[in-house]
Amino acid sequence: MAKKDYYEVLGVSRSSTEKEIKKAYRRLAMKYHPDRNPDDANAEEMFKEASEAAEILTDKEKRGTYDQFGHAAFEGGGGGGFQSGGNFGSIFEDVFGDIFTGGRGGGRQVQRGSDLKYVLDLDLEEAVRGTNPKIKIPTLVECMECLGSGAKKGTAPIDCVQCAGVGQVTARQGFFSIQQTCPRCRGNGKMISDPCGKCRGQGRTEERKTLSVKIPPGVDTGDRIRLNGQGEAGANGGPAGDLYVQVNVRDHKIFTREGEHLYCEVPISFVDAALGGELEVPTLDGRVNLKIPSETQTGKLFRLRGKGVNVTQIRGGGIGDLYCRVAVETPVGLSKKQKELLKEFDGQSDDKQSPKRTNWFGSVKSFFDTMSN
């Protein structure tokens, strides 16, 4: 029975790159792997066929020979080529790497320490101007008693008796062999017969350390500052993780923030709104005078340029503005005399002096007239 074309087996074109061929093989190998299809002779044959095709087409020299002479170049072992029914481990491990082999290389597995997260609460003033607080974080650090070895002082870890210090064991599954993490030493390759009393053989101890964090001006809620190497210590001499300081800006009694701009509400009296005046309003840099023109309506926004947040160091922008939104306050606790004066004022007012109210009632009347019709 003639063999299928290797390119057709993998579903690739003759111009496909090695990366594309490996990708196609990976898909087929995952689909037809014997472990996923127990007692399925057809799936096993498909897996062997795909492995054979990938073994040839991912080897530059073999692929060139196959493209020139086809299957005939490898029949009977000619040309030192691929043998049907041979060991597929090399191409399988090359494509799948650590997924099935449990990591390559012997000895103790060096592991990077975990990253840590710290939420830093700041007042608005601190976030705008920048600050340099000290924080305390719980973390794992290298044990100073055993210097991270996990073994009692004066002793040392010994090679694992099951994997002979390699950290991996070889297991056969069907027609090929794979490497797995040693179950006894969990891939470390070493065993500790006399553990350190301080860290109990872990090589790391927990402690709280104090760090100084430089917070640049202009940060806002959600911004993160990364401190390299300030996370947990790595295992077996591995590098430490990083610490991420996440900023949370507390609510302010006066100001709210939107990006580089600040907003505040300024209550004004009925008289100031009608006749105009000058008010003293706060900014993060001090007090400034705000002129209120006559006939100002509630909700009017006044812009104070350059009184917002400087975000130059954070986002490369400029300095924002402060927007003051006025709110006309209705007087309360009126005296009898004040009530009489207001009634007198109202009696002398006409619709032209209340255009919004006049227009609104006109819209309401039109609405009900339309409904009645």
pLDDT value of residue 323: 96
What residues contact 28, with CB distance under 8 A and at least 6 apart?
10, 11, 46, 47, 50
Count of all residues that appear for the chain in the document: 373
Q: Pairing relation of β-strands 224-227 and 255-258?
A: unpaired
Q: Which two tokens stand for residue 32?
A: 């037809």
The DSSP annotation for 201-247 comes to: TSSEEEEEEEEE--B-TT--TT-EEEETT-SPPPBTTPPP--EEEEE
Rounded-to-integer distance, Cα 248 and Cα 220, Å: 7
Residues 44-72, mean pLDDT to the nearest whole number = 86
Q: Is the pLDDT of residue 132 over 90?
A: yes
247: amino acid identity, one letter: V
Q: Which two tokens stand for residue 233?
A: 């210590």
User: Is pLDDT larger for residue 225 or for residue 43?
Assistant: 225
Q: How confident is the model at residue 351 (pLDDT cuts 50, 70, 90)?
A: low
Q: Which of 86, 94, 88, 89 is nearest to 23 (CA)?
A: 94
Q: Is the pLDDT of residue 11 over 60?
A: yes
Q: How confident is the model at residue 1 (pLDDT cuts 50, 70, 90)?
A: low
For 11, 172, 240, 356, the CA distances from 105, given in Å and listed in that order, are 33, 19, 21, 80
Rounded-to-integer distance, Cα 239 and Cα 231, Å: 10
Which helix (DSSP H) or strand (DSSP E) does residue 32 occupy?
helix 18-32
What phi, psi does 256 have (nearest 5°)? -120, 155
User: Per residue in 269-311, pLDDT tens?
Assistant: 988 988 999 999 999 989 999 999 998 999 999 999 999 999 9
Rounded-to-integer distance, Cα 21 and Cα 101, Å: 21
Q: Pairing relation of β-strands 243-249 and 224-227?
A: antiparallel
A 10 A CB-CB count for 276 gives 14
pLDDT value of residue 222: 92
Rounded-to-integer distance, Cα 243 and Cα 119, Å: 11
Give Cα 199 distance to the centre of its chain. Answer: 32
b/e burial code for range 136-170 (CB count within 10 A of at least 16 → b): ebebbbbbeebebbbbbeeeebebbeebebbbbbe
pLDDT value of residue 98: 41
Rounded-to-integer distance, Cα 131 and Cα 122, Å: 9
What architecture does CATH give domain 116-249? Ribbon (2.10)
What is the chain's alpha carbon radius of gyration, rounded to the nearest angstrom? 38
The lowest-confidence range among 12-21, 84-93, 287-296, 345-354 is: 84-93
Residues 63-91, mean pLDDT to the nearest whole number = 60
The DSSP annotation for 352-366 comes to: GG-HHHHHHHHHHHH
User: Per residue in 155-200, pLDDT tens?
Assistant: 888 888 888 877 788 776 655 667 778 887 877 778 888 888 888 8
pLDDT value of residue 373: 65
pLDDT value of residue 322: 96
Give Cα 85 distance to the centre of its chain. Answer: 46
- 6-96: what CATH class? mainly alpha
User: Per residue in 137-164, pLDDT tens?
Assistant: 887 788 888 887 888 888 888 888 888 8
Q: Is the pLDDT of residue 260 over 90?
A: yes
Rounded-to-integer distance, Cα 57 and Cα 49, Å: 12
One CATH from 2.40.50.90, 3.40.50.2300, 2.60.260.20, 3.40.190.10 for 255-332: 2.60.260.20
Q: Which two tokens stand for residue 345?
A: 């004022």
Contact by Cβ (8 Å): 135, 247:
no
Contact by Cβ (8 Å): 117, 138:
no
For 19, 113, 337, the CA distances from 110, given in Å and listed in that order, are 29, 10, 86
For 121, 247, 276, the CA distances from 214, given in Å and listed in that order, are 14, 12, 45
Q: Is the pLDDT of residue 31 over 90?
A: no
User: Per residue in 316-339, pLDDT tens?
Assistant: 778 999 999 999 998 889 899 999
